[in-house]
Amino acid sequence: MKQYLDVKKKHKDEILLFRLGDFYEMFFDDAVTASKELHLTLTKRASTGNNVPMCGFPHHVSNSYISKLIDKGYKVAICDQVEDPKLAKTIVKREVTKVITPGTFTDSEYLDSSNNNYLMSVYVKNLSIFISYLDYSTGEIYITEKTFLNRKELNIFFVDECYRINPSEILINKQKDVNFNKILKNIPSYINFVEDLNLNVNDFDEYIDDTNIYSELINLKNNRNINDLISIKILFSYVIKTQKDGFKHLNFVIYYNSDDNLLIDENSKINLELVKGLNTNSKKDSLLGVLDNCKTSMGSRTLKKWIEKPLKYRDEIEYRLNIVEKLNEDFILLDNIIKELNEIYDIERLSVKISNSTITPKDLIALLNSLKSIKNIKFILKLSNSEILSKLSDQINPLEKLKSTIENTIIDDPPANFEEKQFIKKGFSKELDDLFDMSTKAKKWILEFENEQREKTGIKNLRVKYNKILGYFIEITKSFVDKVPSTYIRKQTLVGSERYFSLELKEMEAKLLSSRDDALALQLSLFDELKKYLSDNIKNIQELSKVVSLIDVLTNFSDVSIKNNYTKPEFNQDEVIEIKDGRHPIIEFNFTDELFVPNDTVLDNKENLIHIITGPNMAGKSTYMRQVALIVIMAQMGCYVPASKANLSIVDKIFTRIGASDNLSKGESTFMVEMKEVANILNNATSSSLIILDEVGRGTSTYDGISLAWAIVEFIVENIKAKTLFATHYHELVDLAKKYDCISNLTIQVQEQEDTIIFLRKIIDGYTNNSYGIEVAKLAGINEVVLNRSREILDNISEEKSVLINKPKQTDIKSRNKYSASEKILKDISNININNLSPLEAINILNTVIERIRNTNEY
Ligand code: ADP
Ligand code: MG
């Protein structure tokens, strides 16, 4: 108990699993908590007069219990026996060998294979944020930094990154001026405050020799101008503190600049249903669900990253598209690659097992089989008649030497309990073969000994048996005891029988056991050598897994685009987005009997900058706008798109404000949420962005709403010049098209039939001044009394109605907008505390100011 309490003192935050013999036991509050969460029986242990609550489970089933605790948001410290109990003179020495936390959990049996498991570290200093995150189970590390003009923008960036990365666990510095509490409430990750963790960021320096990333970091620091390594040091100190060893697989640090990718803010990601359905929360109803037919888990994880972070540079996009095109041209080639991909195991997640030495012979056979298929893929790609595929083939290093080493060492079907069975191939080591031979021979001898003794003694039911306590013994039933020879030594009496030893038997047993022990020990030491060799190859395996993931996703794109009838998008530099027969990938996918009606889109920076879309409820306005955004995203991922033709200009950011989603759990009204989102759009969109506004302004009174909607569109035209689709029931807005050449009106065709309507789902030029609300209400089953009365009221109101929007003069608007923009910049500058800035931060801020001024045009 004293030993336990000493250990527990250092692990107050975690549930402590204390190894006692074959069990992990928990005591005190840990026991009470765990017994509830894991449905274990709570017992008491009488110790020093107190009744200490206690519960536990056998060590060989610990993984499933630990994964349950992690799943429920606990951290677990594992305290093992670190010396052989047989050799211990007093109490067995115990130490915490590992702390398992949500962000460092690596058990591939319990981790979701199609998702990464990220641990993220955030360090904020003044107006700069440094984020780094790592998937310990695969070894990927990402790092970024950004400087802002004010805390609000920094916070928005932080929240967007949190949702995009979706870490299981976050490490965050707590400082007086850094108060994330309000934001963090809405983030579902496990949050650690670094101050409470007592991390010493210099601990990391001790491990420099163990980690390959240090040199990478130094490179980054020199080349990328990262002025602070603290965030990544926090990350590493935490990993070192919890994992104790196994850092060899942390090889790559990927520095990313959030401006290098198509930026999709959190709302758009949700509204466009990129990775899960809006109402169902399930992957099946999302773009990811439609697109993910990857054959390996590495591929699925990569695809998810691509969806959340599409590309922005044309050559990168076209590289992917061109590979998909070549794959599409050759069905047989495609089919052959898919067949091979099906045989490939999650070799990316093997790297951590190699690194912390938990890899098993079975894993190695999985790796071997994967390497065989990978080699086949290399061949298939090389033999294609395409230069780009042949170059891709050259990127595959099939690790021949590693492959043949495993092939020559491990048997084809190694046992799970490899510590007690033979798994190294015959012929690999003569010494090992001899030892195993000896134990086989001894076993055979024992079998023969039984027959021999039966004949000698005439006891026909004499049996040689084995158990853990006695070892080998001879068992004879009571009725034959008078025939037992005097050389037998009686060892145990049972109800119906007696058990004996014999000298010869015991001698042979000793031989058998010692040769078996020696064989197993030698086998493990040979395996250790192999593991060492593997560990020198981790980086190669990781590089290989990256290429395989890429091939998997692109093959998948090809496969999906053929099945779903997608086409290759083209790109232009003329600021035109032109889509012919575009379809909504998710809705079309879930349609079975009904046919999805395709629609065209033209957006440019001239007459088609902004479309105001009017039309009845349920006509398909929202669907149409989302489909444009989804097609742009798919194209910039390097995927084919649901259209007969798509000629696109590259978009830097996508913003969507769709529907009236209430955010009551955050304590905000719908309208407040709506306006916050619009504010974010107006502050961050550029002329290369795509904005989708769906019924903005509906959360307040009609006149408020119309006025806001009108002014928002004007601001976009005057200041942002971003391509915009705006669906609205405020028919007054169609007048904007008269005022601005760059605004045009679209509507969705319906056919009126008596007092009902038929949806034709076709987008056409023009507008409607009828929302057909009453007709839709009729379709929905509202009764005739209400319908008739509402028709009456509508007629009355329409007669009286004369809403005139008082249109401001063009010049007024311009100067007003310009004024407010410059005023805002001045205000932000005056809020800067110059004493807190490093020279580099000052330069960054200056740069941002200049850019903002340029963006407010004509300065
Ligand atoms: P609105 O925004 O105009 O109220 P939605 O876009 O929400 O309408 O569309 C309502 C429903 O109509 C969709 O859920 C879908 O089932 C169907 N729909 C929309 N567009 C199409 C289309 N182009 N072809 C077939 N069905 C469509
Ligand atoms: Mg709608």
> Which of helix, strand or coil describes residue 655?
strand
Mean pLDDT of 405-432: 93
Please say whether the beta carbons of 489 and 502 come within 8 A.
yes
CA pair distance 62, 428, nearest whole angstrom: 34
Give the ligand 1 atom nearest the CA of 594.
25
Which residues neighbour ligand 2 (ion) by CB within 5 Å? 622
Count of residues for the chain? 859
pLDDT at 666: 54
Q: Give the largest CA-CA distance in the chain.
A: 123
For residue 620, report the distance from its CA to the centre of ligand 2, in Å: 7
Which residue puts its alpha carbon closest to atom 20 of ligand 1?
A: 620
Of the ligands numbered here, which is closest to the C-alpha atom of 694? 2
Phi, psi dihedrals of residue 521, rounded to the nearest 5°: -65, -45
Count of CB atoms within 10 A of residue 517's CB? 12
Structure tokens at 77: 């410290």
Phi, psi dihedrals of residue 322, rounded to the nearest 5°: -70, -35
Which residue puts its alpha carbon closest to atom 18 of ligand 1?
A: 620
What pLDDT digit, counting tens, does each position of 753-796 carry?
Answer: 777 778 889 999 988 877 777 887 888 788 888 888 888 887 77
Of the ligands numbered here, which is closest to the C-alpha atom of 768? 1
Which residue puts its alpha carbon closest to atom 13 of ligand 1?
A: 620
pLDDT at 31: 93
CA pair distance 735, 807, nearest whole angstrom: 10
Which residue puts its alpha carbon closest to atom 19 of ligand 1?
A: 620
Which residue puts its alpha carbon closest to atom 25 of ligand 1?
A: 596
Give the ligand 1 atom nearest the CA of 595.
25
Of the ligands numbered here, which is closest to the C-alpha atom of 279? 1
Give the ligand 1 atom nearest the CA of 762.
23
Phi, psi dihedrals of residue 295, rounded to the nearest 5°: -90, -20
Long-range (24+ apart) CB contacts under 8 A made by 475-483 are: 475/499, 475/500, 476/500, 483/457, 483/458, 483/459
For residue 764, report the distance from its CA to the centre of ligand 2, in Å: 17
pLDDT at 823: 74
Give the ligand 1 atom nearest the CA of 625.
6
For residue 618, report the distance from its CA to the centre of ligand 2, in Å: 7
Mean pLDDT of 613-628: 92
Place of tokens 């010869």: 504
Give the ligand 1 atom nearest the CA of 695.
2
Report in angstroms the alpha-carbon separations of 790 from 756, 778, 783, 785, 797: 15, 11, 11, 9, 10
- Relative to beta strand 690-694, strand 723-727 is parallel
Of the ligands numbered here, which is closest to the C-alpha atom of 627? 1
Structure tokens at 91: 């109490």
Which residue puts its alpha carbon closest to atom 4 of ligand 1?
A: 618
For residue 759, report the distance from its CA to the centre of ligand 2, in Å: 14
Report in angstroms the alpha-carbon separations of 718 from 389, 698, 752, 814, 857: 47, 23, 38, 7, 9
Give the ligand 1 atom nearest the CA of 619.
3
What average pLDDT does the structure give for the chain? 87
For residue 727, report the distance from its CA to the centre of ligand 2, in Å: 8
For residue 761, report the distance from its CA to the centre of ligand 2, in Å: 13
Give the ligand 1 atom nearest the CA of 623.
6
Mean pLDDT of 408-431: 93
Give the ligand 1 atom nearest the CA of 598.
23
Of the ligands numbered here, which is closest to the C-alpha atom of 771? 1
pLDDT at 648: 98
Give the bridge partners for 668, in sequence order: 663
- 33: enclosing H helix or E strand: helix 28-38
For residue 694, report the distance from its CA to the centre of ligand 2, in Å: 7
Residue 362 has pLDDT above 80, yes or no: yes
Indicate the residue type of 297. S
pLDDT at 802: 39
CA pair distance 378, 374, nearest whole angstrom: 6
Mutate to test the pocket of ligand 1, among 285, 612, 623 (most ligand atoms within 8 A of CB): 623
What pLDDT digit, counting tens, does each position of 775-786 carry?
Answer: 878 887 888 888
Which residue puts its alpha carbon closest to atom 21 of ligand 1?
A: 620
What pLDDT digit, counting tens, does each position of 18-61 carry?
Answer: 999 889 999 999 999 999 999 998 888 766 556 889 999 998 88
Angle at 406 between CA 405 and CA 411, to 5 degrees: 130
Of the ligands numbered here, which is closest to the C-alpha atom of 749? 1
Which residue puts its alpha carbon closest to atom 26 of ligand 1?
A: 596
Handedness of CA 516, 520, 521, 526 (dihedral sign): positive
pLDDT band at 607 (very low <50, low <70, confident <90, very high): very high
Mutate to test the pocket of ligand 1, among 280, 593, 618 (most ligand atoms within 8 A of CB): 618
For residue 597, report the distance from its CA to the centre of ligand 1, in Å: 9
Pocket of ligand 1 (CB under 6 A): 587, 596-597, 599, 615, 617-623, 761
Give the bridge partners for 492, in sequence order: 499
> Which of helix, strand or coil describes residue 817?
helix
For residue 661, report the distance from its CA to the centre of ligand 1, in Å: 18
Question: Of 117-131, 187-201, 427-441, 467-481, which gets the smallest average pLDDT?
Answer: 187-201
CA pair distance 637, 257, nearest whole angstrom: 17
What pLDDT digit, counting tens, does each position of 208-250 carry?
Answer: 665 666 666 666 655 544 445 778 888 888 888 888 777 888 8
Of the ligands numbered here, which is closest to the C-alpha atom of 748? 1
Structure tokens at 680: 């974010």
For residue 653, report the distance from its CA to the centre of ligand 1, in Å: 25
What pLDDT digit, counting tens, does each position of 319-344 carry?
Answer: 999 999 999 999 999 999 999 999 99
For residue 621, report the distance from its CA to the centre of ligand 1, in Å: 7
